[in-house]
Amino acid sequence: MLAGAVNLSGPAALYWSVELRSKEPDRVQPSRVVDYEQVFRDAAPGLWRTIYAFAAGQRAVADDAVAEAFARALGRADQIRDPVPWLYRTAFRLAAEDLRRERREPEPVREHTAASPAGLGALVPAPAESRAARRGCPPLRG
């Protein structure tokens, strides 16, 4: 059996040996060129959905994290051995940073203005007026 292989000792139909280590250490291959356009087409949709779920449905966080991860990958293309795991790791870190920042810096509280004498009725059209407006008719005057 090979060094680093797993043997689960059982019928061959149920288990098999898996080589866990390669014979040579992982090294960046300078001659290997990654087509990031193809990586984007293949990995970006799944990466975006994953970050979207991680960010609890915040589209802006997912959009920003995925776009920034790809931008950074293009800047370091010669240093990245396997781009897809690198992109996932980077996008998760960027999204987590955005979410932490949002927690630390809550949205500014809006100042409440005093209600006008007409109250909310001035802001909300009466039912007859809104139906007439939707039909394109002038509102009824009583």
Which pLDDT tens digit goes with each residue over 80-110? 999 999 999 999 999 999 999 999 987 666 6
Residue 140 burial class via C-beta count within 10 angstroms: exposed 0-12, middle 13-18, buried 19 and up: exposed
The answer to the question of residue 75 being in a domain is yes
The answer to the question of residue 54 being in a domain is yes
Closest CA to 88 of 67, 69, 63: 69
Query: Which has more pLDDT, 42 or 117?
Result: 42
The answer to the question of residue 50 being in a domain is yes
**Range of 48's domain?**
33-104
Q: How many domains does the chain fold into?
A: 1
The answer to the question of residue 95 being in a domain is yes
Beta carbons within 10 angstroms of residue 82's beta carbon: 10
Q: Kindly report the CA angle at 96 between 90 and 99, in degrees rounded to 5? A: 145
pLDDT attached to residue 139? 58
The answer to the question of residue 25 being in a domain is no
Would you say residue 4 has pLDDT above 80?
Answer: no
Query: Does the model's pTM come out above 0.95?
Result: no
The answer to the question of residue 129 being in a domain is no
The answer to the question of residue 124 being in a domain is no
Closest CA to 21 of 3, 8, 37, 39: 3
Amino acid (1-letter code) at residue 34: V
Closest CA to 28 of 98, 76, 78: 78
The answer to the question of residue 93 being in a domain is yes
Would you say residue 48 has pLDDT above 50?
Answer: yes
